[in-house]
Structure 1
Amino acid sequence: MTDLIKLGMVLALASGAALHAGATNAATFAAWEVANVAWGDTLNVRKYPSSGSQKQAAYPNGTVLQMTGKCTGGVNLLDIAHLSEAKQRQAVRYQWCEVWHDPKQDGDHVTGWVYGRYIAPY
């Protein structure tokens, strides 16, 4: 395959991903899952990265989340994906990370924030 054809394929894939990302301006999502939430409890997704912020939705352990990659403290999930699971979890343990989700289950996706202690790489 020539370099020109490869470049065309990369550009086509990138433009499709950018269109899919919509308002977040993210070209790629990282899949993480809800983990370590107490039995019978759920992880709250907040409008802003604060435990006092408005709750958008709540998900139980095992729910796979679409992460935009952006976390507080300058952590980017896409940049740490090469690390071991334990190191990734440690990097986000005390951070808030942004999710792309559909809290009303009506096709209207929005961003929200989850506390890193309760998520793990999928």
Structure 2
Amino acid sequence: MRSFVLFACAMLLWSAGLAPGSWPGQAGAQDRVERISFAPGRSSRTVHDTISGYEGIDYLVNVKAGQRLAATLRTDNPSSYLNIKARGSSAALFNGSVAGNLGDVIVPSSGDYVVEVYLMRNAARRGESANFSLTIEVTGGGSGGRQPDFADGLAGGPDFWEVANVPPGDRLNIRSQPSSQAVTVARVRNGTVLRNLGCRMNGQTRWCRVERRNGSAGGWAAGRFLVESGG
């Protein structure tokens, strides 16, 4: 009976594209490793690349305890995701297949962290590819980035936020729902002042409901791009 149960479980995992030893996001022999460094005075970097089949890419970045490590994946394949984890650990601090491809964590200890880009096993088995851009940002703890005020948690907070830390040449997406997969309803630049209508967590990402002073551009913005404003 025990052998039958084990066989049945293995068949279920295989049919779901999750064969033992090949879990989504688990580093494999075909993973490529690249070290991420930032230009002087910069706290973010964007890379463009392609993965195919079972190949994944592990981007290594050195982060200090208490700093915020954020990663945003834009991809043409909906079966490609990112994970964030400490180097050498199998436990993900952020799981993109669960929470979406906008990762945002406060690292618990200093050292190398991995931003892992991969294809889910079912897509990898079909030999699919993914063209993507990945923006990695490290802020706080003397990195030079301007930091959000998270002291108020999800309740209360300032009356107004100011948009900050958006990579040069880019804009912050305001979305219809608190999710990186939701429709973009507006895009705003660094320095834009937005009214704070409250924040909430979606998975491991903090989202804040915002609008312009005149009531336009209402929607949800990722909290890591918002700092307290004097109004």
Residues of 1 paired with 2:224 and 2:176: CA distance?
17
Higher helix share: 1
The Cα of 1:66 is off from its aligned counterpart by: 1.1
Checking the alignment, whether the CA contact within 8 Å between 2:166 and 2:225 is kept in structure 1 is yes
Checking the alignment, whether the CA contact within 8 Å between 1:101 and 1:112 is kept in structure 2 is no
Other-structure match for 2:33: none
Residues 48-76 of structure 1, C-alpha deviation per residue, up to 9 Å, x if partnerless?
000110000000100011111x1113xxx
Residue 53 and residue 108 in structure 1: after superposition, are their counterparts in 2 closer, same or farther (change >3 A)? Answer: same
Other-structure match for 2:207: 96
Residues of 2 paired with 1:57 and 1:45: CA distance?
5
Residues of 1 paired with 2:165 and 2:215: CA distance?
28
In structure 2, what residue type is equivalent to 1:66? R
Q: Percent identity?
A: 40
TM-score normalised according to structure 1 size: 0.51
Q: Secondary structure at the match of 1:52?
A: coil
Query: What stretches of structure 2 of length at least 5 have no aligned partner?
Result: 1-157
Q: Secondary structure at the match of 1:66?
A: strand
Coordinate RMSD, CA, aligned: 2.5
The Cα of 1:30 is off from its aligned counterpart by: 1.3
Find out whether 1:121 has 2:228 as its counterpart: yes
Residues of 2 paired with 1:120 and 1:94: CA distance?
16
Checking the alignment, whether the CA contact within 8 Å between 2:174 and 2:218 is kept in structure 1 is no
Residues of 1 paired with 2:223 and 2:215: CA distance?
24
Residue 38 and residue 31 in structure 1: after superposition, are their counterparts in 2 closer, same or farther (change >3 A)? Answer: same
Residues of 1 paired with 2:185 and 2:160: CA distance?
19
Query: What stretches of structure 1 of length at least 5 have no aligned partner?
Result: 1-28, 74-92
Residues of 2 paired with 1:71 and 1:58: CA distance?
19
Residues of 2 paired with 1:110 and 1:119: CA distance?
15
The 5 A counterparts of 1:6-85 are 30-68=159-197, 70-73=198-201
Residues 66-121 of structure 1, C-alpha deviation per residue, up to 9 Å, x if partnerless?
111x1113xxxxxxxxxxxxxxxxxxx9400001248xxxx774630000011100
Aligned length: 71
Greater relative contact order (Cα < 8 A, sep 6+): 1
Higher strand share: 2
